[in-house]
Chain A
Amino acid sequence: MALLLPDGGLLFWTLISFGIVFFLLAKFGFPVITKSVEKRREFVQSSLEGAKEAQIKLLNLKQEGDALIESANNEQGKILREAAAERDKIIKVAKEQASIIAKKEFDDAKLQIAKERDEAILNIRREVAMLSCDIAEKILREKLSDKQTQMEFIEKMLGEMSRQNKLSN
């Protein structure tokens, strides 16, 4: 029975002991610990989130860099291709122009040559005609001292000339 009956004296001393300890712990003990741990949790949480964000940012940055490099490569290729095309075009145009000029010069030269040749031929013909006329005059002066021979020769010449004309035509 003594086990089950509460004792006033013990209750009083328990109230004092427990009360003081409860006051001390409630003021300086547990709230300090829990508050600090909560703060630490927040800190760890925010640190983790920060790290995650940084990682994502880094990844984005890397992707951006890659994209930049790729576009630069593309641009380079494009520029090179364009340059090559331009070069080819210029060369082609230059070639065309050169060939036109060359052809023109060639044609001019040809015309000149033909002209000069014609002129030369004309001159030679004239010279030859003059020479032959001179020679013929001299010969005729010697040979055609009498009237007879003169007439015979004229006949003969005329025949020859007509023959020559037929040939040349």
Chain B
Amino acid sequence: MGKKIYILVFVVVCLILPVNLYSNVNTSLSESNVHDDKEEGVNVQEIIFDHILDSYEWHITTFGHKHISIPLPVILYSKHSGWHIFLSNKLHKNGGSYKNFYPAPIDHPRAGKLLEKMPDGTFVRPFDLSFTKMSLSVLLNSILLAILILSVARWYRKHLDGSGVPGKFATAIEFVVMMVEDDIIKPCVGKNYKKFSPYLLTVFFFILISNLMSLVPFFPGGVGITANMTITMFLALCTFIAVNIFSTREHWREILWPDVPVMLKAPIPLMQVIEFVGIFTKPIALMIRLFANILGGHMAMLVLTSLIFIGFGVGKAMGSSMTFISVFFNTFMSVLELLVAFLQAYVFTLLSAVFIGNAQIEHHTQ
């Protein structure tokens, strides 16, 4: 009986919700797209890129014709005209442009970024240090992470001798922390694990929280920072530094003079080249893996959501049936993404730990 009611509610929500959303998206699209104001229908590409790409303001929601967004500081330095610092709502008032700065069109390699119009009519990209939506999201996630861990650590600071029983929340965090510590860091890094454990734990929780927050559909979530190449590149860079700066002498010897037959390394440094390339491919693989996995999941969910609007563009019956399919698959995708959120954090940490552990080898005593 209970199950039947749930299914009924689900069907009713599926039928009622999209009509409302449809009107919303139509208006918001027409508002945000000043240039394509008269164009009918839904531009799926724009919806997806609007969601995935960085932007100068954080658009939260739209009530009727009123946009609610957080204005963020735009910081630009141009060789031609010097520093420009202003809030992003000025861009919005002027239809996307401010002074000589215009947003790059969608076919430009830097789509959405501000370009400066030179006196000779060409567009040049200024040095852009703006505190964007992604930057704010990184900051918010970092603050959330810090609050989460430090509030838990406060209890442990009072019980450093191992006495007492932590609360439920602290126990849950402790469980995850010790899982990462015992299952990943200790076996993969080896005996120097204490030096790298704070970094690996921070990376794990940072990615996990970012992934989970990106699945929350409203502020302060909804921004997929781990689906952004810059963030994953930064994290991979951190691992690169942890691997290569703190590596042992033996690690470098194995790269420069590996234990292989001499003909493979002596006249032509074949192995050395392979090993050297390997130093860079490992973090690049980390970067691409996290980026592609999270981006793929978000894109799939966005496309599934857009199916509703495409369906309603065709007709009411098509839209209603598409709603069923979309909501069903989106529910499935959301659950899958929860798993992926954890899995990718786990994999990134695991591989980072393995790379660090490989660089911590000692000389073989024979």
> A residues bordering B, Cβ < 8 Å?
1-15, 17-18, 20-22, 24-26, 28-44
- In the complex, whether B131 has a CB less than 8 A from a CB of chain A is yes
18 contacts between A and B (CB under 8 A): A3-B52, A3-B295, A6-B233, A7-B132, A9-B130, A9-B132, A13-B135, A17-B142, A18-B238, A22-B199, A25-B205, A26-B199, A30-B198, A32-B157, A33-B152, A35-B160, A39-B160, A41-B162
B198 contacts A31, C-beta separation under 8 Å: yes
CA distance A6 to B128 in the complex (A): 12
Q: Which of A13, A43, A44 has the most CB of B within 10 A?
A: A13
Interchain CB contact under 8 A, B110 and A2: yes
Assess the A29–B234 pair: CB atoms within 8 A: no
Interface residues of B in 134-149 (CB under 8 A from A): 134-135, 138-139, 142-143, 145-146, 149
The residue of chain A having its C-beta at the shortest distance from the C-beta of B165 within the complex is A40
Residues of A within 8 A of B177 (CB): 30, 33-34, 37
Binds A, one of B224-232, B270-278, B314-322, B329-337: B224-232
In the complex, A92→B222 CA distance in Å?
112
Chain A residues whose C-beta falls within 8 Å of the C-beta of B162 in the assembled complex: 36-44
B199–A10 CB distance below 8 A: no
Contact B75 A11 (CB under 8 A): no
The digit string for B163-185, where 1 denotes a CB below 8 A from any CB of A, is 10000000001100110010000
A28–B157 alpha-carbon span in the complex (Å): 9
The residues of A that contact B129 with a CB separation of less than 8 Å are 8-9, 12
A23 to B234 CA separation, bound complex (whole angstroms) = 16
B133 → chain A, closest Cβ, in Å? Answer: 9
Cβ of B191 within 8 Å of any chain A Cβ, yes or no, is no
Q: A35: which B residues are within 8 A, CB to CB?
A: 156, 160
> Hey, which chain B residues are within 8 Å of A10, CB to CB?
54, 132, 134-135, 138, 228, 230-231
Bitwise interface map of B from 77 to 111 toward A, beta carbon under 8 Å scored 1, else 0: 00000000000000000000000000000001111
A43 to B159 alpha-carbon distance, docked (Å)? 12
User: What is the size, in residues, of chain B's interface with A at 8 Å between Cβ atoms?
Assistant: 56
**8 A-B pairs closest in CB distance:** A39-B162, A40-B162, A26-B198, A13-B135, A36-B156, A2-B111, A21-B142, A29-B149
A58 to B110, CA, bound (A): 78
Chain A-chain B contacts (Cβ-Cβ < 8 Å), number: 149
Most buried by B among A39, A40, A41: A40
Partner of A3, one of B130, B153, B205, B229: B229
Complex CA distance for A11 and B229, rounded to whole angstroms: 10
| Residue ID in chain A nearest B231 by CB atoms | A14
Query: Does B127 lie at the interface of the complex (its beta carbon under 8 Å from any beta carbon of A)?
Result: yes
Q: Are A32 and B233 in contact (CB under 8 A)?
A: no
Are A2 and B113 touching (Cβ within 8 A)?
A: yes
Q: Are B132 and A22 in contact (CB under 8 A)?
A: no
B153 pairs with A15, CB closer than 8 A: no
* Inter-chain contacts of A8 with B (CB < 8 A): 127-129
CA–CA, A6 to B233, complex, Å? 8
Chain B residues with Cβ under 8 A from A22's Cβ?
198-199, 202
Within 8 A of A (CB), among B40-66: 49, 52-54
- Let me know if B150 is at the binding interface, CB within 8 A: yes
Contacts A2-B113, A24-B146, A29-B149 given; does A11 touch B174 at CB 8 Å: no
Q: How far is the CB of A20 from chain B (nearest CB, A)?
A: 7
- Contact A30 B149, beta carbon cutoff 8 Å: yes
Q: For B198, what are the chain A residues with a Cβ–Cβ distance below 8 Å?
A: 22, 25-26, 29-31
Contacts of B205 in A (CB 8 A): 25
Residues of A within 8 A of B134 (CB): 10
Of all chain A residues, which has the CB nearest B288?
Answer: A4
B161 part of interface (Cβ distance < 8 Å): yes
Contact of A37 among B111, B138, B178 (CB under 8 A): B178
Docked Cα-Cα span, A37 to B166, in Å, equals 10
Do B174 and A13 have beta carbons less than 8 Å apart?
A: no
Tell me, yes or no, whether B112 is within 8 Å of chain A by CB: yes
Q: How far is the CB of B13 from the nearest CB of chain A, in Å?
A: 33
Q: How far is the CA of A40 from the CA of B174 in the complex (A)?
A: 12
**Given A18-B206, A25-B201, A34-B178, A5 and B109 contact (CB-CB distance below 8 Å):** yes
Q: How far is the CA of A97 from the CA of B161 in the complex (A)?
A: 84
User: Interface centre among A1, A3, A4, A38, by most B CB within 10 Å?
Assistant: A3
**Interface contact B201-A30, CB-CB below 8 Å:** yes
Q: Please, which residues of chain A bring their CB within 8 A of the CB of B174?
A: 33, 37
Contacting residues, chain A, for B159 (C-beta < 8 A): 36
Smallest beta-carbon distance B349→chain A, Å: 13
B197 is an interface residue with CB less than 8 A from chain A: yes
Interface contact A14-B138, CB-CB below 8 Å: yes
In the complex, the answer to whether B75 meets A9 with C-beta atoms within 8 Å is yes
